[in-house]
Amino acid sequence: MNPKYEAAFKPFTFRSGIEIKNRIVMAPMTNTASHENGEVSDEEIAYYEERTGGVGAVITACTYVRRNGKGFPGEFGADSDELIPSLRRVAKAIHDKGSKAILQIFHGGRMCPPEELLDRQTIAPSAVAPEREDAMVPREMTPEEITDMVHAFGEATRRAIEAGYDGVEIHGANTYLIQQFFSPHSNRREDKWGGTLEKRMAFPLAVVDAVKKAVADYATKPFLVGYRLSPEERENPGITMDDTLQLVDRLADLELDYLHISVGAFWNGSIRDENDKTSRVVMIHERVGDKVPVIGVGMLRTPDEVMEAFGSGVPLIALGRELIMEPKWVQKVQAGEEVNIRTTLSKKDQKELAISDQMWEYYTSIPGWLPIV
């Protein structure tokens, strides 16, 4: 290995006691390959087996904590004890290759495709549709449903523990339900779950509490809890960076293992103010990095780009699309073979890359998302 990359391969120990062998993790990526009943498919297991081993940890694709939160076709579930064997298959596939396994838990809220829901009706903090063409107006959740949803995140965590995972990542990003409660666009409530900034934080913080309680009640060995967030929203009203900095201040006091900052590119500035070029990942790290480690992500394709990001002080980097195209990205850097890292996706490589037809269709349906040749 080139000595200039050695810093990326130092072990890292989280607050919970979980240690990963290096500072690179696999980002959570939807792969649309599970069965309709929420069970993981053989194709999905093969996909994870191909991409684990090199990275210190794998953060899985999101799993719904309630069936009415299914956000994608072919998403696997964590909403029932009947799915624990399915969840266990994924954890085992990751562990067998030598990486830690982190289950991402999620509810899509108003962003769920209605056709994926049993009753075809989305739910959200308030009856406000997202700003996109032909979006459904969601049904406003009742106070009882909100309390039940908080409990559901705790129950999904219990299932992750029973299935053998090393931790969970709470998906509070990308405009899904947890972010919808924090957003002044999607949350227009006037009860204890909405209104002021403090009340808009109530649901995310309650979810963290429920998850941490499940860990305290059920985990018999170290088990980590991470939280993923998106720093800003384009909508008006929408989440501002000032809102987010106040949220991360609160999250930093909850003894989480990490904050994972979901942005299009690691060095991106504000999506609300084109004149503000400061990296949102770096800004959050500088705000709370002394209390909780930050995972940075986004358009870090080469080892040199990853090392430049580490130079900001951010201690952990997630790779997503890079591992779709090059499952052995980490191993090739370790072996001094970085010149052989794939940087494009080719149909002729689909089988070798363990990409199912469903995944291929999904990955190639997003214009410009991957460089396809």
**Would you please indicate which residues are annotated as catalytic (active-site) residues?**
176
Handedness of CA 226, 227, 230, 232 (dihedral sign): negative
CA dist., res. 316 & res. 23, Å (int) = 5
3-class SS of residue 222: coil
Neighbours of 207 (CB within 10 A): 27
Structure tokens at 125: 């903090």
Confirm if 171 and 178 have CB atoms less than 8 A apart.
Answer: yes
Confirm if 242 and 183 have CB atoms less than 8 A apart.
Answer: no
Q: Could you tell me where the DSSP H helices lie in the chain?
A: 42-51, 84-96, 143-162, 177-182, 197-200, 202-218, 241-252, 280-288, 303-310, 321-325, 329-334, 357-364
With b for 16 or more beta-carbon neighbours within 10 A and e for fewer, the 307-335 pattern comes to bebbebebbbbbbbbbbbbbbbbbebbbe
- Sequence-distant (6+) residues with CB within 8 A of 116 are 70, 71, 72, 73, 75
Q: Quote the DSSP letter at residue 141.
A: P
Residue among 16, 21, 37, 22 nearest 80 (CA): 37
- Sequence-distant (6+) residues with CB within 8 A of 338 are 2, 302, 303, 332
